[in-house]
Amino acid sequence: MTPLAEELLVTFVKIVIVVGALLGGFSVMTWVERRSLAFMQYRLGPNRTGPFGILQPIADGIKLFFKEEVMPVAANKWTFLAAPVVAVATALLATAVIPYGPPFEAFGRTLQIQIADIEVGLLFIFAVTALGVYGVVLAGWAANNKYSLLGGLRSSAQMFSYELALGFSWVTLILAARSFRINDIVDTQAGGFWHWNVVVHFPAFIVYFLAATAEVARIPFDLPEGESEIVAGFHTEYASMRFALIQMAEYINMITVTVLLANLFFGGWHSGVPGMPESLGGFPLGFVWWGLKVAFFLFVFIWLRGTLPRFRYDQLMQFGWKVLIPVAAVWVMTFAVLWVVVGGGPR
């Protein structure tokens, strides 16, 4: 095989793995979410299909697949059809530059489950999360339904506002790592857990966590789908597989921000315990630490959903613009000054 063909093959395999894992993760997540929410509310949740109801996602999939495709008469046909696809596509785009787990040796080369390790990784993620608005806006507009439109507008305004805070929270990490590459940022956190960015950049972590929750429109920031006010928001008119696609996009976004959280703030695949062996019997232990962190924070998102009520819309905007962004901006300034005065500083 020529080097180019080999490179293409490797990338293709990576894509298959990542997308497959995400789709699997999506279906498992729906089940986990429903079960854990149920327990938090003293219910049982879906427990009929398979052991512990684990086959529930498959049953859901089959059901959605065979449901009738409904489209409002007054909808804008092509936009209505395109919106879920756009939503999933933009959600998947962001996953391309994220590393899933540590680099490891296999087949005589160093591999990492990361489709593209680009120089401006974080900037790219920032750019494509901005695109996430499109699926929502298109869906909301195309249905020609007032609730949908309101949901779409709410959602885009919300994503727009919190994206700024989200981007701000990364600035100090980029500064400290002197790089936009996610792998570089993860590697600055090697060693003990006190090197983790959650310790060093604690305010940035708070801002990121809140902004990310809002960005993926999870409770308490799920205004776009506030069912007590606007039915189901932008996807009111969607049914069957198109509805499933939109759900999928939302879960993929959630997984993306969680993986980023683990990678950027919690040391990624670094154990946080000095002297911990790199691998056990040839298996890189990094995957274990990484997986545990990701799983934990996915659970935190569900936990939040089971615990918190929803914001009011004006509170949401107030919080985003008047609290989160100023806090993030002040932290950037503070860190920059500290960085120069106390340690490191520009080279």
Out of 33, 163, 215, 225, point to the residue binding another protein (CB under 8 A).
Answer: 163
Do 241 and 249 touch, CB atoms closer than 8 A?
no
Scan residues 83-122 and list those touching another protein (CB under 8 A). Answer: 118-120
124 binds another protein (CB under 8 A): yes
From 22-30, 123-131, 244-252, 253-261, give the range in contact with another protein by CB under 8 A. Answer: 123-131
296 binds another protein (CB under 8 A): no
Total Cβ atoms within 10 A of residue 320: 23
Paired tokens of 239: 């049914």
From 103-111, 149-157, 226-234, 251-259, give the range in contact with another protein by CB under 8 A. Answer: 149-157
Smallest separation, CB 160 to another protein (Å): 6
261 binds another protein (CB under 8 A): no
Counting other chains too, the contacts that 300-307 makes at CB distance below 8 Å and 24 or more residues apart are 301/213, 301/218, 301/254, 301/258, 302/32, 302/33, 302/36, 302/37, 303/36, 303/40, 304/213, 304/218, 304/219, 304/220, 305/33, 305/37, 305/218, 305/219, 306/36, 306/37, 306/40, 306/41, 307/40
Total Cβ atoms within 10 A of residue 261: 22
Q: Give the contact letters, 176-215, x = binds to another protein (CB under 8 A), - = no.
A: --x-x-----------------------------------
160 binds another protein (CB under 8 A): yes
The contact set with another protein (CB under 8 A) reads 79, 118-120, 123-124, 126-131, 133-134, 137, 141, 149, 152-153, 156-157, 160, 163, 178, 180
